[in-house]
Amino acid sequence: MTKPLDGRITLVTGASRGIGYAAAKALAAAGSHIVALARTQGGLEDLDDQIKAAGGTCSLVPMDLREFDQIDRLGGLLHERYGRLDGLLCNAAVLGDITPANHTTPKDWMRVIDVNMTAPARLIRSLDPLLRESDAGRAVFMTSSVAQAPRAYWGAYAASKAGMETFVRCWAEEIGDITNIKVNLLNPGGTRTQMRAKAMPGEDPSGLPSPDDIAPLIVEMLSPTYQTHDSCVAYRDWAVG
């Protein structure tokens, strides 16, 4: 039986847990070979076991996204091995400290900006040529409502997501008419993840969607049949649509 992503190659960042982990499993189940990138070796190995047990295939890339030179080399390595990239899920992010803006430390600011904004920009630079080699390159970047609706005490995280959104949409504007790539943002909303628990420690998570609930939308957005471009998709709108 043909699967919707048979023969495709998809890179997932932040693949060792949360939304990235669930999405990688769902994408593999849909037929894609997964290139799973994360810092946590144990989480990647667990993902690999899960994907292979279900009949899928996976390559592991243990990497800290703050090591920008490694991102720059990633495109060349993937080109040597696969010659193209069909899908990119840019999911990895850090929350940073929830604190007044004037209490934000330079160390925390740089960590949040490096992972949430600079790393996606470097991934675009490194992987754009590979996505162009696909007959239907697809890229999804995870975002947050605070990028457009700033919230007190969330300064570094909100700024990083706003900057990432702007950069991604500029790239989408540039390539929309000249390539087969479709680029979109995805706002999952509050989701039952470790990051959400850290941000909202008193919240009852039972009413939140799980990463497994979000994963089918990611599969849809990274499928070659998906034609939306340069848009921000909200999970809640999709779930009730």
CB atoms within 10 A of CB 79: 16
pLDDT of residue 191: 82
Distance between CA atoms of residues 152 and 113, nearest Å: 18
Residues pairing with 33 in the sheet = 9
- Residue 189: the pLDDT is 83
Q: Which pLDDT does position 195 carry in this prediction?
A: 79
Catalytic residue among 82, 153, 157, 226: 157
C-alpha triplet 52, 127, 193: angle, nearest 5°: 55
- Tokens representing 224? 């070659």
Kindly provide the b/e burial profile for residues 15-52, where b requires at least 16 CB atoms within 10 angstroms of the residue's own CB: bbbbbbbbbbbbbbbbbbbbbbbbbeeebbeebbebbe
Predicted local confidence at residue 207, as pLDDT? 83
Three state DSSP letters for the chain: CCCCCCCCEEEEECCCCHHHHHHHHHHHHCCCEEEEEECCHHHHHHHHHHHHHCCCCEEEEECCCCCHHHHHHHHHHHHHHCCCCCEEEECCCCCCCCECHHHCCHHHHHHHHHHHHHHHHHHHHHHHHHHHHCCCCEEEEECCHHHCCCCCCEHHHHHHHHHHHHHHHHHHHHHCCCCCCEEEEEECCCCCCHHHHHHCCCCCHHHCCCHHHHHHHHHHHCCCCCCCCCEEEEHHHHHHC
Domains, the chain, in order of start with CATH, read: 9-240 (3.40.50.720)
Whole-model pTM? 0.96
What is the pLDDT at residue 32? 98
82: annotated active-site residue:
no
The predicted pLDDT at position 196 comes to 79
pLDDT of residue 240: 87
| pLDDT at residue 135, rounded to an integer | 97
pLDDT at residue 217 in the model: 98
Residue 235's pLDDT is 96
Residue 159: predicted pLDDT: 98
Q: Which residues of the chain have pLDDT under 70?
A: none
pLDDT of 204: 76
Which pLDDT value is given to residue 216? Answer: 98
